Structures are given as structure tokens and as C-alpha cells.
Amino acid sequence: SGKAEAAKDEGSFDVNLPDAAEGKVVTRFPPEPSGYLHIGHAKAALLNQYFATKYKGRLIIRFDDTNPSKEKEDFVQNILTDLQTLGVKGDGPVTYTSNYFEQLQKECERMIREGKAYVDDTPQEKMRAERMVGDNSVNRDNSVEKNLAMWAEMLKGTEEGKKCCVRGKLDMQAANKAMRDPVYYRCNPMPHHRVGTKYMAYPTYDFACPYVDSIEGVTHALRSSEYHDRNELYDRVLSDLDVRKVHMWDFSRLNFVYTLLSKRKLQWFVDNGKVEGWDDPRFPTVQGILRRGLTVQALKEFILSQGASKNQNLMEWDKLWTINKRIIDPVCPRHTAVISEAKVLLTLSNGPQEPIVKILPRHKKFDGAGKKATTFTRAIWLDQADAAAVKEGEEVTLMDWGNAFIRGIHTDADTGLVTGLTGELHLEGSVKTTKLKLTWLPEIGELVPLSLVDLDHLITKPKLEEEDDFTSVLNPVTRRDTPALGDANMRNLQKGNVLQLERKGYYIVDVPYLRKEKPVMLISIPDGRQKDP
Ligand code: ATP
Ligand code: MG
Ligand code: MG
């Protein structure tokens, strides 16, 4: 049965939460507004929504805004946008942990009065060392009066207060290090994006999250399994506060090869100008991967296919892009481009004297993709790579046109590059017998300048270990721009349009046509066939 369960786990989120009664389940998605949502957060959000829906319960969207040093309003707004993109909607208004600061402060004070917490001014390094070996802090047995006096200094944010934090008086010798007197409150003089400078001290996630979950009526708190060791602490905080219990349920954290999924690390790339911003198409953020050409449908399908299992999974990107290709290929229009560098003119001796324009479908099997105008001229542009591949006398197929014989090949003796071709149309020839099917563009007419953008992973190591310094494995080159020309129809493409350049691959429009001198920027969409290096 273990096997059957694992199989079931793999295919969908379809598992049961403990103690879940229809109409009674309340889940929550609690992002910290310290960055945009990434694909791991997308999984957490969709999973919480899935269970709220499955049990006809409620989903709460709550901003976990307890650290003013990392958080800002801009992140709140972008996370709301990202949730909307994912189709994740809370039942009831969005909430904020900062709505509860007053209560949390009172509760913390009560913990101090009841001897369940104490104030400690042990320097951070020393505290860490004591925690490692299980030594008590010198402040652990201070009187309640002394603790309250130091707490007052913390709330005022005085020099003395700023050295202090409140710690739960749990068990410094506990096997689970999360239980070794965790920090509940700490000072931070930075203004908070919602409450400004009202507070000098803020609750930690470990203290605030269980309390707010309980107060807001959450029945099932889902979180990724790397926090598993802290489940015991979560329960303990609830029992020390004497508030309603909440079920804690772990799911697997999503990880990808060659990918950082930590907002702190992503922020580093933004701060150091290694990317354009949080929506950079090299970023694993929701905005980044959609800008790279992923569809929301593919993202959701992929995440659902992960299942709800508790195993950590390190995913390959190609799986996601393969799903995406299956979605975009049947509908996205086809266009033609020729690489600008060393492009070659093929002159057809019996080609049309005057240009001929025909209206063709933009997708042969899907009318919904619309139509395009194709211009047939006596001379046509080919890619250098194609020109170098043809042989004298060879019959080739010109796509959307017909066959032609290659008659003459002119090569530059110094560079070895093909500089010109001559040929002859042979439209009665069978396209089934030719080896080469060539894409081409008319010599005459307004071709559209393009920039084809290929992107690569930001780091060169597939799986970063805890001790790895990510700045030592940066990929020096993560973007390559190739100038090209596109068919005249491409002038009408809009930002975000997905298309296929025949024989080149799928692309998404990042910058549309503005004027002749400015290339249309097309970002290459992986199609799942490029294996990660
Ligand atoms: P980061 O390290 O990127 O800051 P975080 O876990 O601190 O991530 P939060 O905004 O606190 O970010 O997370 C909100 C929710 O998203 C939490 O429930 C967390 O468990 C979940 N989550 C974060 N990263 C992942 C991931 N890679 N896979 C699955 N769930 C994740
Ligand atoms: Mg967090
Ligand atoms: Mg984290």
C-alpha cells in the first residue's frame, strides 16, 4: 500500500488532510512581502487553494510582514498581482500580521510575566554558540521585574533595548535545536511599510505565525517540509499562549536545478544589476517565467503534477517547458526570420519579375492564429547556415512556395562564407523528395529588424548546498542577442505574443515594433528539448 500511496501522491494534490471536515477547513497562504512570488510560492499558494476548495472551506491570504528591513509595499502589490495571475483568490479580505502587532506585543508581555519568556542581551554570536552546545544564557533566570524593565527598553528602542531580544523559555538541551529558547521578539529601528515608526520591536515568524493562524481561525497550516523541525515549536507557542490548536501539515519544497529560490539571493541579483529586476526572464519568479514565455496553464499543470508528497524534489526545467510546448504549439502563429549576419541572397532566374503577395494562414492547422501576407520575389534571403549546406545542382524546398534547383554557389575565398546563390524555381517538383526545407524572406519589402534573445541559467551548479556561496558559481554569460530580420507581418506583434519562428523555435515578444531602427525583441522560449547542461 506504500507503493500505491506514493503513486497517488505523485500524480496530484489528491491526498487527505487530517481531521478535515467539509465546510470547516481554513487554510492560508502567508507570503512575506520581501520579494515577488517565485515558482515555489506558486506551489504553496495553489496547494492552499486546492485544499480550501476541496473541503468547501476558506483560504486566507496573509502578508507575513514582521521584518521591516526586508519588506516593502511594492512587494505587497506585486504579490497581489502574481496571485491574481495564478487565479488564487482569498475568501475575505487580505490580512497582515502587522494588523496584530498590538495583540502580539501584549501576548509577549504576558509570556514574560508568566515566566514563559525572558529578555536576553547576549550578543548574537554567543547566543548561537550557546544554542549549539546547549548552554543556558546568563539571563535565563533573571527575575520577571528585570525582564519587564529590559522589555520596556526594547519597546522604546533605546541603545540598551536594541541589544536585547525576547526568547521563549523552552529547553536549551532539547534534541530539536528549534526548541532551544527561540527568539520571539527583536528590535528593529527601520520604519515598517504599513505601520511606520510606531514600533521599535517586532515579533518573529516563530512567535507571530502560530498566534495569528490560531486567531484567524486557520485549521490547517501547510508549510514546506524544510520547516519540519519547527513544527514542535509551533505547537509549543500555541500551548504556551493557551490558544486554539492548529494542524500543521508539511508538503515538499519545490527546487529546480541551476536555480536559486531564495528571495534574499534573488534580491542580490537585483541589487547588483545582474538582472533587469524581479521580473527578469532569467528569474524563477512568476513574472519572470511568464515573461520567458511560460503559460499560466502550463505552470498550474506542472505544479499539480508534482503532487502533494513530502519528499523534497529537485526538478528539471525541461519537464515544465515540455508541458508548455504542448499548450502553445497548436495555437501560436508561425513567422519567418533570417539571421542578419552573413545572410545570403538566392537569385531565382525564373522567379517573379514583380513581387507577388499572397495571404497565407499564420498556422496551417489553426485558423484562430489569423493570416499573414507573404511576398514572393525574384531574390530571397537565406540563413548563412542553410546557404552553406546546399550543394550545386541540389533540389531544395522553399517553404510556403515550392522546389528550386541550386545552380551556382559563390564563396568568399578568405572567409569561406557563402556570398551569393543562384537557382531556378521548379514548382512542379515534389516536396517529399527534398532533403532541405529552407525558410526564406523576400529581398524587397519592409523586413522587421529583430533581436533574438537566448538566455541561460544564472548559476553554473545544478544543486547548491547549504555551505555553497552562490556568488562563486555565477554564470558569467547568461544572455546572447542575435540580430535577425523578420517578415513584415511581425510589425503587428504585441508584447507577450507567443510565436514560432519556423525552424528556429518558439519566442515571446518582449519589446514590440516601435520604429524601423529599433529591433523587435524576441525571447527564446525553451521547448523542453534542450537538456540542462
Ligand atoms: P524565500 O526563502 O524565498 O524567502 P520563504 O519560505 O521565506 O521563501 P515566504 O514568503 O515566507 O517565503 O513563503 C510563503 C510560503 O511559501 C510558505 O508557506 C513557504 O513554505 C512556501 N514556500 C516558499 N518557498 C517554497 C518552495 N521552494 N517550494 C514550496 N513552497 C515554498
Ligand atoms: Mg519566510
Ligand atoms: Mg526562506
Any bridge partners for residue 192, and if so which? 196
pLDDT at 238 over 70: yes
Question: Does the Cβ of 39 fall within 6 Å of ligand 1?
Answer: no
pLDDT at 189 over 80: yes
Q: Say what percent of the chain tops pLDDT 90.
A: 91
Question: Does the Cβ of 43 fall within 6 Å of ligand 1?
Answer: yes
Determine whether domain 2-254 maps to CATH 3.40.50.620.
yes
Q: How far is the CA of 271 from the centre of ligand 3 (A)?
A: 18
Question: Does the Cβ of 40 fall within 6 Å of ligand 1?
Answer: yes
Question: Does the Cβ of 32 fall within 6 Å of ligand 1?
Answer: yes
Specify the residue with its C-alpha closest to ligand 1, atom 2. Answer: 262
Q: How far is the CA of 34 from the centre of ligand 1 (A)?
A: 11
DSSP helix, strand, coil percent of the chain (3-state; round to 5): 30, 25, 40
Question: Does the Cβ of 306 fall within 6 Å of ligand 1?
Answer: no
Question: Does the Cβ of 180 fall within 6 Å of ligand 1?
Answer: no
Contacts of 48 (CB under 8 A, 6+ apart): 27, 28, 29, 59, 88, 222
State the distance between the two ends of the chain, measured CA to CA, in whole angstroms. 37
Q: Distance between CA atoms of 360 and 343, rounded to whole angstroms?
A: 25
pLDDT at 406 over 80: yes
Contact status, residue 486 vs residue 281, Cβ threshold 8 Å: no
Contacts of 234 (CB under 8 A, 6+ apart): 206, 209, 210, 221, 246, 248
Ligand 1 atom index nearest CA of 252? 29
Predicted-complex ipTM score = 0.97
What was the pLDDT predicted at 533?
64
pTM score over 0.90 = yes
The pLDDT of 281-298, averaged and rounded, is 98
The pLDDT of 447-468, averaged and rounded, is 96
Question: Does the Cβ of 41 fall within 6 Å of ligand 1?
Answer: yes
What was the pLDDT predicted at 66?
98
Burial class (CB in 10 A: 0-12, 13-18, 19+), 418: buried
What was the pLDDT predicted at 255?
94
What was the pLDDT predicted at 3?
39
245-254, 322-331, 498-507: which range is least confident on average?
245-254
The pLDDT of 279-305, averaged and rounded, is 96
Which residue is catalytic, options 167, 230, 263, 378? 263
Q: Distance between CA atoms of 318 and 179, rounded to whole angstroms?
A: 40
Task: Look up 62 and say whether it is catalytic.
Answer: no
Q: How far is the CA of 222 from the centre of ligand 3 (A)?
A: 15
Q: How far is the CA of 519 from the centre of ligand 2 (A)?
A: 41
pLDDT at 445 over 80: yes
Q: Distance between CA atoms of 325 and 23, rounded to whole angstroms?
A: 38
pLDDT at 6 over 50: no
Ligand 1 atom index nearest CA of 266? 3
274-288, 308-322, 419-433: which range is least confident on average?
308-322
Enter the DSSP assignment of 191: P
How is domain 334-525 classified at the CATH fold level? Ribosomal Protein L25; Chain P (2.40.240)
Tracing cell 499562549 back to the chain, one arrives at 241
506 phi and psi, to 5 degrees?
Answer: -95, 145
In Å, how far are 57, 60, 191 from 96, measured between CA atoms? 20, 10, 16
Banded pLDDT at 2 (limits 50, 70, 90): very low
Question: Does the Cβ of 62 fall within 6 Å of ligand 1?
Answer: no
Please write the tens of the pLDDT for every residue from 118-174: 999 999 999 999 999 999 999 999 999 999 999 999 999 999 999 999 999 999 999
Domain-wise residue ranges, the chain:
2-254, 334-525
Which residue is catalytic, options 28, 32, 372, 395? 32
Specify the residue with its C-alpha closest to ligand 1, atom 18. Answer: 223
Cα-based angle 382, 386, 388 (whole degrees, multiple of 5): 115
Task: Look up 32 and say whether it is catalytic.
Answer: yes
What was the pLDDT predicted at 153?
98
Tracing cell 537569385 back to the chain, one arrives at 347
Contact status, residue 21 vs residue 55, Cβ threshold 8 Å: yes
Contact status, residue 90 vs residue 59, Cβ threshold 8 Å: yes
Task: Look up 232 and say whether it is catalytic.
Answer: no
What ligand is nearest to the CA atom of residue 262?
1
What ligand is nearest to the CA atom of residue 266?
1
Which residue is catalytic, options 62, 223, 230, 253? 253
Mean residue pLDDT of the chain comes to 95
pLDDT at 313 over 80: no
What ligand is nearest to the CA atom of residue 204?
2
